[in-house]
Amino acid sequence: MVWVKAFLAGFLSTLVFHQGVIALFWLAGVIPAAPWDMTPAPPFGVPKVISLAFWGGVWGVPVWWLVRRWRGASQWLAALVAGAVGPVKAGGVPVAQLERHQLRRRIGGLGGQLVVTVD
C-alpha cells in the first residue's frame, strides 16, 4: 500500500508543483505554452498533463524507496532533491528529445541544471 501512496504522491505533485511552476513561467512570459496541456499525447491519446503526471507517479516510487529510511528534515530535503533534480539528471533531456519537444529553456538556479520542457 505504501507504494501506491508513493505513486499517488508523485502523480499529484506533478499536477500541483511541476505544472504550477510551468504556470508561473507562462504567466511571466518566459515560455509560450500554457500549463495543464489537455492535447492528446501518443500513443493512447490521453491528455499530455495526465501522461506527464503518470510518469511523475512512476518516478515517485523510486524516490520513496530512496528516502524512506530518513526522518524529519533530511527526508524532506532528500525527497526534494530526488524529486526535482533527479528526473533532469536521469532522463529529462533524453525524454525531451524522444518526445520531440519544440522548446527547451534552461532556467537559472541549481547550477543551470533545471530544464523546463514544453511544446
pTM of structure: 0.69
pLDDT digits (tens, 9 = 90+) for 9-45: 999 999 998 899 899 999 999 888 899 999 998 888 9
- Find out whether 114 and 107 touch, Cβ atoms under 8 Å: yes
pLDDT digits (tens, 9 = 90+) for 70-118: 898 988 888 888 877 777 666 555 555 555 444 444 444 444 445 554 5
Looking up cell 498533463 gives 49
What residue type is 80 in one-letter code? Answer: L
User: Domain-by-domain residue ranges, the chain?
Assistant: 2-87
- Find out whether 12 and 52 touch, Cβ atoms under 8 Å: no
- Find out whether 68 and 60 touch, Cβ atoms under 8 Å: no
DSSP secondary structure, 70-81, as one string = --THHHHHHHHH
